[in-house]
Amino acid sequence: MRMVTETGAPLQRRYYTSRDGRQLTWDDIVRGYEVEKGTFVVVDDDELERLAPEKTGGIDLREFVKASAIDPMYFERGYYLVPTGTNTKAYRLLAKVMEEEQLAGIATFVMRAKEYLVAIIAEHGILRAETLRFSDELRTPESIGLPKPARVAAADVTKMERAIEKLAEKGFDERELVDQSAVRLLDVVEKKLEKDEDVVELPRDTEDAGARSDVIDLMSALEKSLRKGRSAAKPARRRSRKQATR
């Protein structure tokens, strides 16, 4: 959902100073790293550009590890890897070997001036890249005050096992993965649309162009990385609202 006026005009975000309410332009804004409350170290654009990863458009395959060795807590977002051209032999071969050996490839690539760490995983003959969180992005149980594991009485364990068995299913039904909040919201939207109730529309010439749909294709980059160490990557395709809801 987007924030709009009663007539349907999209809102814009603007920056003001908290002291005098003066509106700022982009030329007035700099970036600062807060070292302590109210104290910032300013870093200018030139310094940030020098710190940015090299824009090679490639992917670096570092190593192969057992897929089971990667904690799911590190997984962030998944992308399908697709073969380039009509020759899929290398794709099928790599997916087959990785799946049979239960291996994951650890690699890095740069997209939109940011370096990502990914795990290349093979399942059912398909390769996908799972972007990984960095280790300092995860909290530890100790950091949030969780108590240390304690011994549990055997009788309590048996009782819990029986309770779990009653709810246990033989397999996982992917149809359960439905965002019910989104379903209810779209139901309200569709009913209002059918009744032409609360529907506002801007003139065509004021509509924005919208986000561009891109495709990430790391397969050729992965193949080159296996041979030479570097290759190409493109941005990921965004799902449509209908696809995302499904």
> CB–CB of 216/235 below 8 Å?
yes
Report pTM: 0.61
pLDDT for 98: 94
> CB–CB of 71/140 below 8 Å?
no
> CB–CB of 146/139 below 8 Å?
no
Q: What is the DSSP letter of 115?
A: E
Domains and CATH numbers, the chain: 59-137+213-241 (2.40.290)
Alpha-carbon span 121 to 80, nearest angstrom: 10
Closest-CA residue to 61 (of 133, 14, 117): 117
pLDDT in tens, 40-51: 999 988 888 888
pLDDT for 93: 92
pLDDT for 49: 82
Strands 126-132, 75-81: pairing is: antiparallel
pLDDT in tens, 110-156: 877 788 899 999 999 999 999 999 988 998 888 888 888 889 999 99
Mean pLDDT by 10 residues, the chain (246 residues): 85 88 90 90 87 71 93 93 82 93 92 85 93 90 88 93 91 86 91 88 60 52 62 41 39
Alpha-carbon span 27 to 31, nearest angstrom: 11
Give me the residues paired with residue 19 across strands: none
